[in-house]
Amino acid sequence: MTTEAVQLSERRLGKFGDKYFAGRPQQVLLRNWISFKSSAWIAVVSGFLEPVLYLLSFGYGIGELVGSIATPGGEISYAAYIAPGLLATSAMNGAMLDSTWNVFFKLNESRLYNAMLATSLGPLDVALGEIAWALMRGGIYATAFTVIVAALGLVTTWWALLAIPAAIIVAFGFASFGMAITSYMKSHHQMNFFYIFLLPMFLFSGAFYPLTVFPGWGQAIIKALPLRQGIELVTRAMSGEFGIHILVNISYFMVMICVGLFFTTKRLNALFMK
């Protein structure tokens, strides 16, 4: 008997990753879309609110106490100063949530991935589909945030639109890394370790103040952290003053994405096939 399903899967034999990949990650996206359409979308849509609230509260409230900030590009308002950091941070948080807790939940609690993998989908379809969904969501949040930042008059150049792809790169880096680490997690208690790492990174990566308040060695450590790299990347993209340094930030994330995807793929069996 050769059914449609069988023909389709046979057609992929000998092609890239036929062991793990059916070439259909878009079906995982479709599933998320169907689920999203009928869900309490207010909870999803409002996801971009958090950085906006921080921007309003800190930018204008603390901004009044701080005055303007001197940057290489000249004096800017405190709100304009923190906007890219908030965008990078929310890209990180969203990506981490999607690639760690949500993956863990769908794997162990709702067993959604069990159902997907009982079909002719491969683990790589699932991983790519989930990452793509997270990035699309992150991209939409980033766009909303950037539009608000622009509407508040905090950007001065059309280059600021580049903040959107920059935020997506940041999200991609964290999502692929998060998934790789999740593949090593055995219980949901271990998942809390992410947060022990994420909170200090958020507080010290200089989203709210220049790193110069720290001693030199402290700055060096912080600059090696992914969130700091993300903040620099988004800041440079949003201001339109990239310089050669933006290549360092981008390379950092390319490495992070590749390493993350490498380990995720390597551990796919461990991740999805207990």
274/262 Cα distance (integer angstroms): 19
Give long-range contacts, CB 8 A cutoff, 24+ apart: 60-65.
62/208
Q: Which range touches other proteins (CB under 8 A), out of 157-165, 200-208, 223-231, 252-260? A: 200-208
Whether 68 and 78 have beta carbons less than 8 Å apart is answered as yes
Count of C-beta atoms within a 10 Å radius of residue 217: 8
Cα 203 versus chain centre, distance: 18
Q: 49, 147, 220, 224: which one contacts other proteins (CB under 8 A)?
A: 49
Q: Which range touches other proteins (CB under 8 A), out of 118-126, 160-168, 234-242, 251-259? A: 118-126
Q: How far is the CB of 133 from other proteins (least distance, A)?
A: 13
Contacts of 122 (CB under 8 A, 6+ apart): 17, 19, 20, 21, 22
* 206 touches other proteins (CB under 8 A): yes
* 65 touches other proteins (CB under 8 A): yes
Query: Where do we find the tokens 């103040």?
Result: 209
Helix (H, G, I), strand (E, B) or coil at 241: coil
* 66 touches other proteins (CB under 8 A): yes
Q: Which residues bind other proteins (CB under 8 A)?
A: 1, 3-6, 8-10, 12-13, 18-22, 24, 27, 30-31, 34-35, 38-40, 42-43, 46-47, 49-50, 53-54, 56-58, 61-62, 64-67, 69, 78, 110-112, 114-122, 192, 199-200, 203-204, 206, 208-210, 213, 269, 273-274
